[in-house]
Amino acid sequence: MVSNEFYFDARGEKERIKRAYEALKEERESKRVGYYNLPDDREMVQKIKDFCDNSEFIQNEMQNIVVVGIGGSSLGTKAIHSMLLHRRDKRINLFFLENPDPVDIEKILNRKSKTRRVKRYNTFFIMISKSGTTIETTSIGKFLMQEYDFKLDSWAFKDQSAIITDEGSPLDKLANEYGLNVFHIPHNVGGRFSVLSAVGLLPLYMAGYDIEALLEGARAMRDDFFERKMDDLVVKAMFYVDNKDRYPMNVLFSYASEFKHFNEWYVQLWAESLGKIDKDGNRVGLTPIHLIGAIDQHSFLQLIVQGPLNKTVTVLKVKDFENDMIIPDISIPYLEKTNFVNAKEFQELLNAECDATVQSMIDQNVPVDLLEVDRLNEYNAGYLVMYFEILTSLAGFFLNINTYDQPGVEFGKKILRKRFGAE
């Protein structure tokens, strides 16, 4: 269950709201944009389940999963994993190798330690690259092959690895030639919109999450939207775009440390989708900012409430952490002033702080909306993913841009290849 309450006055003409619904409907029905239909891809879910459930290695030996992938290939999985980690029974470690930073790679693999965690015999490797030639990902992949002494045509490699890529990509061709496990990302699903495809579903299912509930939450949100029950969401996107000069920044202020990576996922989705040259040739965009409460109350909040009023804020709150940890009813000499939270649950303190922050921002005329999930679970995670994806598509529509491409990230890639004399 997710609810959304608005503390700013945003209304939209019916006609514009209607046009936005229709634009996204057209994206979906024409199959130009594929993420809307990911929750219905039963074939993919079945393939993932069959693969995992029938693998001797995954069922009995696997203790670690290493996901090799950068940007859209890892952030979504990381987001859901860190949001729900505490609820899992299964104790499978999930590691992400994203950055070609050698210090970071060594640290994650715990490489220099005698009690090295990631071992050849207990680890499953997933390499994810939509294009199939992402230089960071292939470089780390080559390193892992050498480090763990895997040969492309060895039995062990086939058993302990999978590739997720576009059909027909170089990686896909490689997988086909060597009989490696491969899962496809639909061509019409961009990397940053791909978490509900095999990109997220395979590692999350392997790690013990309920991917059916994840997809169910996403589906519920999507269906509500396409049944035109979400005028509020349309109006929110419209407000952001209409006021982009006044409020160029959109803050996601999430009240739970578990949302740290979800925040990062939101940032990449919003920034890369909406920072574009529009159809009239103008640079447009909205800048995402991510905060964690209560931590950032002690710093960034100062800028929000007393700095320039140039940010909208969405507060993300968890009603029930399903955790009854209590602040002990201890009175400590000289600290009696802090006793007002004694015997309260920690979550009550955190959520009261959240409410207080919302109020203090409203008091200062910051446009705030509150997005509340009843608990941290797969259903709500799926709902939130779809919520922000559709919000992004709506903002892209109102900005009059192509929400789904990323020509700017290619600039650096070209320069890089030139520097290495590769073209």
Contacts with 54 (C-beta within 8 Å, 6 or more apart), sequence order: none
The C-alpha atoms of residue 66 and residue 118 are separated, in whole angstroms, by 8
CB of 283 to a second copy, least distance (A): 5
Question: Which residues, numbered 342-401, are part of the site for a second copy (CB under 8 A)?
Answer: 342, 344-347, 349-350, 352-353, 355-357, 359-360, 363-364, 376
Q: According to CB under 8 A, which residues from 265 to 324 bind a second copy? A: 267-269, 271-272, 274-277, 283-285, 287, 289, 292-311, 321, 323-324
The footprint of a second copy on residues 404-423 (CB under 8 A) is 406-409, 411-413, 415-417, 419-422
Based on the shown chain and the rule CB under 8 A, indicate whether residue 154 belongs to the binding site for a second copy.
no
Q: How many CB atoms lie within 10 A of CB 7?
A: 15
Question: Which residues on neighbouring strands pair with residue 253, listed in sequence order?
Answer: 291, 315
Residue 325 binds a second copy (CB under 8 A): yes
Interface with a second copy in residues 120-149 (CB under 8 A): 132-133, 135-136, 138-139, 142-143, 145-146
When the beta carbons of 11 and 417 are compared against a second copy, the nearer one is 417
* Contact stretch for a second copy (CB under 8 A) within 19-27, 154-162, 209-217, 403-411: 403-411
CB 403 within 8 A of CB 274: yes
Interface with a second copy, residue 1, by CB under 8 A: no
How far are the Cα atoms of 114, 204, 316 from residue 129, in angstroms, in the given order? 32, 17, 30
Nearer to a second copy, 9 or 89 (CB): 89
**DSSP assignment of 83-115, as one string?**
HHGGG-SS--EEEEE-S--HHHHHHHHTTT-TT
b/e sequence 292-327, b meaning 16+ C-beta within 10 Å = bbbebbeebbeebeeeeeebbbbbbbbeebeeeeee
Options 16-24, 94-102, 231-239, 386-394: segment touching a second copy (CB under 8 A): 94-102
Site residues for a second copy, window 34-63 (CB under 8 A)? none
Tell me which residues are annotated as active site. Answer: 272, 298, 413
Closest approach of Cβ 26 to a second copy, in Å? Answer: 24
* Residue 152 binds a second copy (CB under 8 A): yes
Contact 383, 2 (CB under 8 A): yes
Task: List the alpha helices (DSSP H) in 195-327.
Answer: 198-206, 211-226, 231-242, 260-274, 300-306
Map the footprint of a second copy across residues 178-217, applying CB under 8 A.
178, 191-192
